[in-house]
């Protein structure tokens, strides 16, 4: 039987869209979801079906999962990809923005797990793929909410891995580096500093950070999707996978003293101001 895959956050130009195309290319039945279906473009394969899904709604997540289960009889792979960037200094973020970021980037993963794990456990088969980030492991300035929300995703993946093991349900945590996608454009459109901000002199540095993942050398989205899907469709998927621009560097930095690493991150993204 062809694996049945549910992917969140599938707007055209993003990682989710590319993952759907690749899963379909590999023969899977794919359900591509986004808050609004009209943000999802046309796929190259007819085995991809589009559904509206607000990952911030308990009822919507449960409804979509049950709808797919009713049609297909199962969900083999659930990919938690929905997320967005809230760039800027931490203390300049409104509480509404903070809650919205964690709701989409982090809490949505728990909503999906609560909906799909019982179905997978019943069949004693399934895989949850959580899209984290290398900055969830090493924080950078000017993107603190995203770093914090993705750090939480890493912990959620680790705990789900342990707690799903008795039911033969696997968890694969993905930590992308720089991947060519629309996340920076979205981050730029959301960014603004409040009047009287302490950080107005740092706007060039903040913009550099927003666009860092799209710098030359960033991994093409389709190449990233091929690498992730290959891991996800293995008989025994790995627990963790990281790829994309700077992923090797960040893996190395995890072994170094944190004081030095944080100094380096500040130097990279603020040296023009501090010199």
CA pair distance 157, 220, nearest whole angstrom: 25
Which tokens belong to 76?
């083999």
Integer Rg of the chain from CA: 19
For helices 15-25 and 221-232, give the axis angle rounded to 10 degrees. 50
Measured between alpha carbons, how far is 35 from 113 in angstroms, rounded to an integer? 18
Among candidate residues 31, 146, 199, 269, the one labeled active-site is 146
User: Which one of the listed residues 29, 150, 199, 269 is annotated catalytic?
Assistant: 150
Specify whether 122 is catalytic: no
Comparing C-alpha atoms, which of 239, 86, 193, 78 is closest to residue 148? Answer: 86
Instruction: Assess whether 45 carries a catalytic annotation.
Output: no
Burial category of 165 from C-beta neighbours within 10 Å (exposed 0-12, middle 13-18, buried 19 and up): exposed
Q: What is the DSSP letter of 234?
A: S
Which segments of 8-128 does DSSP mark as H helices, in order?
Answer: 15-25, 58-72, 95-102, 108-123
> Which residues does 31 contact at the CB level (< 8 Å), separation at least 6?
4, 5, 6, 7, 48, 49, 50, 51, 64, 68
Active site residues: 146, 150
């Amino acid at each position: 039987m062809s694996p049945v895959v549910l992917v969140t956050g599938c707007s055209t130009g993003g990682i989710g869209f590319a993952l759907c195309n690749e899963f379909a290319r590999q023969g899977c039945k794919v359900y591509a979801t986004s808050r609004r279906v009209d943000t999802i473009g046309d796929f190259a394969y007819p085995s991809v079906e589009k559904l509206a899904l607000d990952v911030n709604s308990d009822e919507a997540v449960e409804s979509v999962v049950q709808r797919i289960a009713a049609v297909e009889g199962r969900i083999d792979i659930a990919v938690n990809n929905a997320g967005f960037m809230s760039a800027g200094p931490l203390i300049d973020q409104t509480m509404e923005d903070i809650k919205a970021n964690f709701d989409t980037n982090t809490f949505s993963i728990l909503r999906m797990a609560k909906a799909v794990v019982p179905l997978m456990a019943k069949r004693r088969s399934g895989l949850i793929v959580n899209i984290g980030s290398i900055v969830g492991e090493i924080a950078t300035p000017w993107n603190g909410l995203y770093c914090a929300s993705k750090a939480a995703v890493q912990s959620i993946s680790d705990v789900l891995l342990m707690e799903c093991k008795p039911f033969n349900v696997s968890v694969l945590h993905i930590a992308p580096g720089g991947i060519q996608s629309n996340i920076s454009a979205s981050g730029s459109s959301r960014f603004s500093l409040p009047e009287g901000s302490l950080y107005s002199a740092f706007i060039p540095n903040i913009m550099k950070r927003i666009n860092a993942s799209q710098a030359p050398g960033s991994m093409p989205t389709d190449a990233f999707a091929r690498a992730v899907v290959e891991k996800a469709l293995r008989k025994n998927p790995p627990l963790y996978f990281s790829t994309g621009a700077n992923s090797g560097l960040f893996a190395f930095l995890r072994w170094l003293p944190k004081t030095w690493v944080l100094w380096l991150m500040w130097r990279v993204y603020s040296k023009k101001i501090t010199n």
